[in-house]
Amino acid sequence: MKAGIVVFPGSNRERDLAAAFQRATGQKPIFLWHGDSEIPDLDLIALPGGFAYGDYLRCGAMAAHSPVMREIRVRAAAGVPILGVCNGFQVLTEAGILPGALLPNRSLAFHCHDVRLRVENSQTIFTCGYEAGGVIRVPVAHHDGNYTADAETLDRLEDKGLVAFRYCDEAGGLSEDANFNGSARSIAGIFNDSRNVLGLMPHPENATDPLLGGTDGCAFFEGLVGALQ
Amino acid sequence: MTGAATETLAAEHGLTKEEFARASAILDRAPNLVELGIFSAMWSEHCSYKSSKTWLKTLPTTGPRIICGPGENAGIVDIGDGEAVVFKIESHNHPSFIEPYQGAATGVGGILRDVFTMGARPVALLDSLRFGSPDHPKTRHLLSGVVAGIGGYGNCIGVPTVGGECGFDPAYNGNILVNAMCVGLARADRIFYSRASGPGNAVVYVGAKTGRDGIHGATMASAEFGGDAGEKRPTVQVGDPFTEKLLLEACLELMAGEAIVAIQDMGAAGLTSSSVEMAGKGGLGIELDLDRVPVREAGMTAYEIMLSESQERMLMILKPGGEDEARRVFEKWQLDFAVIGRVTDSGRLVLKKDGAVAAEIPIAPLVGEAPLYERPYEARAPAAEIDPSSLPERDPVACLSRLLGSPDLSSKRRIWEQYDHLVQGNTVQRPGGDAAVIRVAPSGKALALATDCTPRYCRADPKRGGMQAVAESWRNLSAVGALPLAITNCLNFGNPERPRIMGELVGAVAGMREACLALQYPVVSGNVSLYNETMGEAVLPTPVIGGVGLLADAARAIDLGLKREGDALILVGETKGHLGASIYLREIEDRRDGAPPPVDLAAEKRNGDFVRGQILAGRVAACHDLSDGGLLVALAEMAMAGMRGARLEAATGDLPAHAFWFGEDQARYLVETAEPESLLAAAHAAQVPARRIGTVEGAALTLFGRNAISVSALKATNEAWLAHYMAQG
């Protein structure tokens, strides 16, 4: 499987993501430079966490207009799997590839800790390693992860099964406390209509090693790689 | 050149009459304004260490693993397999008090540059913070600003903030302490130094543009600045972590090639100290054309350009022919790149501006004849020891709750959860334990990292306090199974011109020296911050120790959380019930007197080596060093970390209960093991005092079958204080 990870100036979790892919595939993904307007044929393109262009103006706003994003918009429309994690999710919403926006957390503070996620739809290439309704533990590390969209969009996401993950408690229940950043309907990650694009705030790539406090992210990468091979 | 400076102007630059005379003698004439600015910066306490150098020189700085000790941007220690760890701690106290967010953020930015300028990729940040009384009207604002600033910088640049400490005392009401430590990894044969060589080589400026921010923190008459007070910018610099991230990646990319001769970051005193130090180390001269320096605003004078402390800038000396490669890399990362001068063999710093010579100073005396003071000092009369039986008996469980809910011992989760401590994917042990553990991929080794100081001990007895800070650092690393390698220190004191303060510095350094020697734990880098004082009120003497240890196998690291029902709890080390200068005395009895606990360095070494050996032998399930609050606080912290209870059946011997539970005797560890017999036998053989004091059991702490409290109640108390305090902001 050929995966590419976009590096924007200010990306900082591209190596974390590369290590998770390498663990799942045995192959190193290639890095794509933000200024490249042409990119090779790839089975998957990932947008990593970080602070692209310093997140100045708004998170992901400037990155959404970088040369590489023009090509990514074309690939997304052509059905190439695109994964955006954290800042990558913010870039995808700013680019209009995914609906909604990510506002500052309810606390107005950065949050770095483990959270529980409920898998809402396991019938996709990204989530086929999980059971629907299953609860996984992965970390978050963001200041702007408060997912927001208008009611119509939220209804559509729910009706069409486009909600990928929700913040929940250990038993899978939804609550104000578990929804620590204040996201609409506890949404932690969403698909596009054809489910070849996923954006999520949490970091499954940081939960792929028993030594580092968790392996619930392994099934994410193994499932994805399995589906694409 | 501009006109000659006067003694009055020199005084406004912080130079004494004698220092001004010395500068004039070096030049054989009175310095002009630009030269005066350069002398005052280079001879400032911050750059010259003129009050502390005599004492710093007594610290041990060498060892078989030490590649580079103090004097460079950071210290370097060999960790085997061709790898080296590069680290340093630095203060940003004064700016953080004036503007907490930017002060703390640029403190982080500065220490990061010190590490990557040597060719190391930064892999961890830590901090050591001291604030005034929580009741003081400024404290909440300062705390939230500093924490947001540290997070804002570290989170953006993508270096995990993995550990630190945070304490409160009214002595910091007028002067907070913000110390930041950075740890990086480099190939041992790919380290970059700051020594210039090769007359004719290009001097290159890279990074952000130079602005008028941070010019000369010293008091400055506005008339000499250029007239318009409205032109003045605050003396606090403004940080841009995004630019620093680009600078980091660009420098490391260029360092993979062969273009660089020497490199130095522009930190305190900016272009002045970087150019002078590089040339001085090489015994060479340097000529700069200041018209070529990338500037943020028009009309900047030579004085402003030389003394600006704008952030995210580097100075490099390139090999002949290296310019094209360097320019390509820096332009790729969209950073400024300018050849601003040449290395010369004149031995002089020559600055040109608008086609004329703006300053000319011989470098050797500027660096080598910096003033050095042996300031008078007085040792303090030792505080009286406290007899624990003179204190009233109290309910230990109620006291425990009070202590765990006090500002100093309360959980600092609310702080470290605002720091990205996971980025880079190597954090084996997260904040909240004795030491953070960071994997060194791909070898599978790990580094253990901690910052430590107990200022109330240092106030009561500077020498014991200095010794204890080193010993606690060594213990914290040993408690996770790491072999302590070396330290970096940040010495925060008041005004050294007062003999009492100088006595604190001298005492603390003497204590550190003894401990470093006995524990084979040398100092490889550091920073001194003096004049932390307002209206004659000095901070507590706070010599912060940043410790770095090594584990051959990251998977062997042990944390403090209790693990298994039925495991034995073994107390390692001797318990004498020392309560002088303790947290118990302060929080429960409202007393701040007494001598701090003595430090028996031989016992520290013996007990620590034993515990580390048992961890590496696989006999230890959890381990915690005993420090603030003594045995019962340590046990509670282990219980809360593992969310398990324990039953304690230990007799207190001849000691009053409060002395047994809360005494702060040193050289002690609490260890959980499934093999108590073999561990106790090994302790006996090693002549290490060890006894079983209880068993992991249930969900509550039970003392002698009566006083019991649930671990979840303890945790709620421990988490409440800071959460509540910060929420009120």
Partner-chain residue, chosen from B242, B420, B555, that has the shortest CB–CB distance to A10: B242
Cβ proximity of B660 and B577 under 8 Å: yes
Residue B658 a catalytic site member: no
Q: Please state, in angstroms and as integers, the Cα–Cα distance from residue A97 to each residue in A21, A75, A82, B703, following that order.
A: 23, 11, 10, 60
> d(Cα B92, Cα B520) in Å, to the nearest integer?
29
Measured between CA atoms, the residue of chain A closest to residue B555 is: A211
Partner-chain residue, chosen from A9, A110, A203, that has the shortest CB–CB distance to B246: A9
Closest to B699 measured CA to CA, from B689, B688, B691, B709: B709
The interface residues of chain B toward chain A in range 150-209, judged by CB-CB distance below 8 A, are: 151-152, 155-158
Cβ proximity of B306 and B218 under 8 Å: no
> d(Cα A169, Cα A176) in Å, to the nearest integer?
10
Place of tokens 């074309």: A74
pLDDT greater than 60 at residue B231: no
Partner-chain residue, chosen from A13, A113, A205, that has the shortest CB–CB distance to B158: A13
Extract the tokens encoding B664: 């702060």
Q: Which of B46, B94, B421, B578 is catalytic?
A: B46
Average of per-residue pLDDT across A117-143: 97
Measured between CA atoms, the residue of chain B closest to residue A35 is: B332
**Which distant-in-sequence residues (6+ apart) come within 8 Å of B673 by Cβ?**
B567, B568, B570, B614, B619, B620, B621, B679
**Tens-digit pLDDT profile for residues B420-439:** 999 999 999 999 999 999 99
Contacts of B439 in chain A (CB under 8 A): 211-212
Q: Given an 8 Å threshold on Cβ–Cβ distance, is B245 in contact with A12?
A: yes
Average of per-residue pLDDT across A178-192: 98
Measured between CA atoms, the residue of chain A closest to residue B436 is: A212
Measured between CA atoms, the residue of chain B closest to residue A56 is: B242
pLDDT greater than 70 at residue A41: yes
Average of per-residue pLDDT across B471-496: 97
CA atoms within 13 A on the CB side of B602: 2
For residue B75, what are the β-bridge partners? Answer: B87
**Which distant-in-sequence residues (6+ apart) come within 8 Å of B2 by Cβ?**
B32, B33, B34, B358
> d(Cα B68, Cα B302) in Å, to the nearest integer?
34
Q: Please state, in angstroms and as integers, the Cα–Cα distance from residue B585 to each residue in B477, B579, B632, B666, following that order.
A: 27, 7, 15, 16
CB pairs under 8 A between A and B: 84
Average of per-residue pLDDT across B611-637: 98
Q: Given an 8 Å threshold on Cβ–Cβ distance, is A110 in contact with B246?
A: no
DSSP strand E in B269-426: where? 285-289, 313-318, 336-344, 348-353, 356-362
pLDDT, position B234: 53
Cβ proximity of A139 and A114 under 8 Å: yes
pLDDT, position B267: 83
Q: Given an 8 Å threshold on Cβ–Cβ distance, is B422 in contact with A141?
A: yes
Q: Given an 8 Å threshold on Cβ–Cβ distance, is B156 in contact with A143?
A: no
Q: Given an 8 Å threshold on Cβ–Cβ distance, is B155 in contact with A13?
A: no
Q: Given an 8 Å threshold on Cβ–Cβ distance, is B424 in contact with A16?
A: yes
Q: Given an 8 Å threshold on Cβ–Cβ distance, is A203 in contact with B422?
A: yes
Partner-chain residue, chosen from B245, B422, B555, that has the shortest CB–CB distance to A10: B245
pLDDT greater than 60 at residue A205: yes
**Interface residue A106 vs chain B (CB under 8 A):** no
**Tens-digit pLDDT profile for residues B71-95:** 899 999 999 999 999 999 999 999 8
Partner-chain residue, chosen from B246, B418, B425, that has the shortest CB–CB distance to A109: B418
Q: Please state, in angstroms and as integers, the Cα–Cα distance from residue A174 to each residue in A156, A165, A169, B13, following that order.
A: 20, 12, 6, 62
Q: Given an 8 Å threshold on Cβ–Cβ distance, is A110 in contact with B155?
A: yes
Residue A26: other Cβ atoms inside 10 A: 9
Which of the four pLDDT bands, split at 50, 70 and 90, describes residue B412? very high
**Interface residue A50 vs chain B (CB under 8 A):** yes
B2-8 long-range contacts, CB within 8 A, separation 24+ = B2/B32, B2/B33, B2/B34, B2/B358, B3/B32, B3/B33, B4/B29, B4/B30, B4/B31, B4/B32, B5/B30, B5/B31, B5/B32, B5/B33, B5/B35, B5/B36, B6/B30
Which letter does DSSP use for residue B65 in this model?
Answer: T
Q: Which residues of B55-70 are buried (b: 16+ CB within 10 A; e: fewer)?
A: bbeebbbebebbbbbb
pLDDT, position B216: 64
> d(Cα B222, Cα B12) in Å, to the nearest integer?
11
Which letter does DSSP use for residue B351 in this model?
Answer: E
Which letter does DSSP use for residue A84 in this model?
Answer: E
Q: Given an 8 Å threshold on Cβ–Cβ distance, is A54 in contact with B158?
A: no
**Interface residue A56 vs chain B (CB under 8 A):** yes
pLDDT, position B210: 93
Q: Please state, in angstroms and as integers, the Cα–Cα distance from residue A110 to each residue in A140, B19, B416, following that order.
A: 10, 48, 10
CA B307-B234-B501 angle, 5° bins: 80
Give the orientation angle of helix B17-27 with respect to helix B33-42, to 10 degrees. 120
Partner-chain residue, chosen from A50, A54, A56, that has the shortest CB–CB distance to B158: A50
pLDDT, position A211: 93
Q: Give this complex's ipTM.
A: 0.96
Q: Given an 8 Å threshold on Cβ–Cβ distance, is B428 in contact with A143?
A: no
pLDDT, position B642: 97
Place of tokens 């959404």: A64
Q: Given an 8 Å threshold on Cβ–Cβ distance, is A206 in contact with B417?
A: no
Q: Given an 8 Å threshold on Cβ–Cβ distance, is A206 in contact with B148?
A: no
**Interface residue B311 vs chain A (CB under 8 A):** no
Which letter does DSSP use for residue B115 in this model?
Answer: H
Which of the four pLDDT bands, split at 50, 70 and 90, describes residue B147? very high
Q: Which of B92, B216, B624, B658 is catalytic?
A: B92
Secondary structure class of A59 (helix, strand, coil): coil
Contacts of B333 in chain A (CB under 8 A): 9
Extract the tokens encoding B326: 């360097």
Secondary structure class of B31 (helix, strand, coil): coil
Q: Given an 8 Å threshold on Cβ–Cβ distance, is A110 in contact with B420?
A: yes
**Interface residue A105 vs chain B (CB under 8 A):** no
**Which distant-in-sequence residues (6+ apart) come within 8 Å of B374 by Cβ?**
B54
Cβ proximity of B422 and A12 under 8 Å: no
Q: Given an 8 Å threshold on Cβ–Cβ distance, is A16 in contact with B151?
A: no
**Interface residue B425 vs chain A (CB under 8 A):** yes
Partner-chain residue, chosen from B148, B422, B424, that has the shortest CB–CB distance to A112: B422
Contacts of B441 in chain A (CB under 8 A): 19
pLDDT, position A223: 96
**Interface residue A8 vs chain B (CB under 8 A):** no
Mean pLDDT of chain B: 93
Closest to A21 measured CA to CA, from A42, A50, A46: A46
Cβ proximity of A36 and B273 under 8 Å: no
Cβ proximity of A114 and A229 under 8 Å: no
Contacts of A211 in chain B (CB under 8 A): 428, 439, 554-555
Shortest CA gap B12–chain A (Å): 39
Q: Given an 8 Å threshold on Cβ–Cβ distance, is A10 in contact with B246?
A: yes
Q: Please state, in angstroms and as integers, the Cα–Cα distance from residue B521 to each residue in A169, B283, B611, following that order.
A: 45, 32, 17
**Interface residue B122 vs chain A (CB under 8 A):** no
B6-12 long-range contacts, CB within 8 A, separation 24+ = B6/B30, B9/B33, B9/B36, B9/B221, B9/B224, B10/B36, B10/B40, B12/B218, B12/B219, B12/B220, B12/B221, B12/B224
Q: Lay out the sheet containing B542-551: strands in order across.
A: B427-429, B436-440, B445-452, B542-551, B483-492, B523-529
Helices (H), ranges, B557-625: 583-588, 601-616
**Which distant-in-sequence residues (6+ apart) come within 8 Å of B135 by Cβ?**
none
Lowest mean pLDDT among B215-219, B539-543, B548-552, B710-714: B215-219
Q: Given an 8 Å threshold on Cβ–Cβ distance, is A143 in contact with B419?
A: no
Shortest CA gap B318–chain A (Å): 25
Which of the four pLDDT bands, split at 50, 70 and 90, describes residue B464? very high
| pTM reported for the whole predicted model | 0.95
pLDDT, position B501: 96
Q: Which amino acid is at A154?
A: L
Residue B92 a catalytic site member: yes
Secondary structure class of A51 (helix, strand, coil): coil
Element (H, E) at B684: helix B676-685
Measured between CA atoms, the residue of chain A closest to residue B421 is: A112
Q: Please state, in angstroms and as integers, the Cα–Cα distance from residue A228 to each residue in A26, A80, B255, B350, B355, following that order.
A: 14, 10, 38, 63, 65
Secondary structure class of B101 (helix, strand, coil): helix
> d(Cα B509, Cα B515) in Å, to the nearest integer?
10
Interface test with A, best of B423, B440, B443, B558 (most A CBs within 10 A): B423
pLDDT, position B380: 84
Cβ proximity of B117 and B73 under 8 Å: yes
> d(Cα B573, Cα B581) in Å, to the nearest integer?
20
Say what the alpha-carbon torsion angle A126, A208, B154, B329 is, to the nearest 10 degrees: -70
C-alpha of B4 from chain center: 40
**Tens-digit pLDDT profile for residues B577-596:** 999 999 999 999 999 999 99
Secondary structure class of B210 (helix, strand, coil): strand
**Tens-digit pLDDT profile for residues B23-36:** 999 999 999 999 99
pLDDT, position B222: 27
pLDDT, position B716: 98
The share of chain B scoring above pLDDT 70, in percent, equals 97
Cβ proximity of B281 and B315 under 8 Å: no
Average of per-residue pLDDT across B144-168: 97
> d(Cα A207, Cα A138) in Å, to the nearest integer?
6
**Tens-digit pLDDT profile for residues A53-102:** 999 989 999 999 999 999 999 999 999 999 999 999 999 999 999 999 99
Contacts of B311 in chain A (CB under 8 A): none
> d(Cα B229, Cα A135) in Å, to the nearest integer?
61
> d(Cα B163, Cα B264) in Å, to the nearest integer?
27
Closest to B366 measured CA to CA, from B481, B251, B458, B275: B275
pLDDT greater than 90 at residue B235: no
Which of the four pLDDT bands, split at 50, 70 and 90, describes residue B495? very high
Q: Which amino acid is at A148?
A: T
**Interface residue A14 vs chain B (CB under 8 A):** no
pLDDT, position B223: 29
Cβ proximity of B723 and B140 under 8 Å: no
Active site residues of A: 86, 203, 205
Question: How, if at all, do strands B348-353 and B285-289 pair?
Answer: parallel
Lowest mean pLDDT among A186-190, B367-371, B624-628: B367-371
For residue B622, what are the β-bridge partners? Answer: B672
Extract the tokens encoding B538: 């000095």
Q: Please state, in angstroms and as integers, the Cα–Cα distance from residue B425 to each residue in A74, A154, B212, following that order.
A: 31, 33, 38
Place of tokens 């003096």: B530
**Interface residue B431 vs chain A (CB under 8 A):** no
